[in-house]
Amino acid sequence: MKVTVLRLALLAALLAAWELAGRAANPLLAVPPSAVLPALRDLLLLRSYPRLPASLCLTVREIGVAYALAVAAGLGCGFALGMNRLLGRAWGPMIAALYAVPAVVWYPSLMLFFGLDAASKIAFGFLLGFFPITLAVLAGVRQVNPQLVLVARAYGAGVVTVFFRVMLPSMLFTLVGGLRTGLALSVIGVVVGEILGAKDGMGALINHAYGLLRTGDYVALVLVTLAIVVGSDVLASLLERRAKAWTE
Chain residues in the site for another protein (CB under 8 A): 3, 6-7, 10, 29, 86, 89-91, 93-94, 97, 99-109, 111-113, 184, 187-188, 191-192, 195-196, 206-207, 210, 213, 215, 218, 222, 225-226, 229, 233
Min dist. Cβ of residue 132 to another protein (A):
13
Residue with smaller CB distance to another protein, 166 or 191: 191
Residue with smaller CB distance to another protein, 118 or 221: 221
Residue burial 133-142, b: 16+ Cβ < 10 Å; e: rest: bbbbbbbbbe
Min dist. Cβ of residue 246 to another protein (A):
25
Residue with smaller CB distance to another protein, 158 or 211: 211
Min dist. Cβ of residue 47 to another protein (A):
22
Residue with smaller CB distance to another protein, 102 or 146: 102
Residue with smaller CB distance to another protein, 78 or 88: 88
Min dist. Cβ of residue 148 to another protein (A):
28
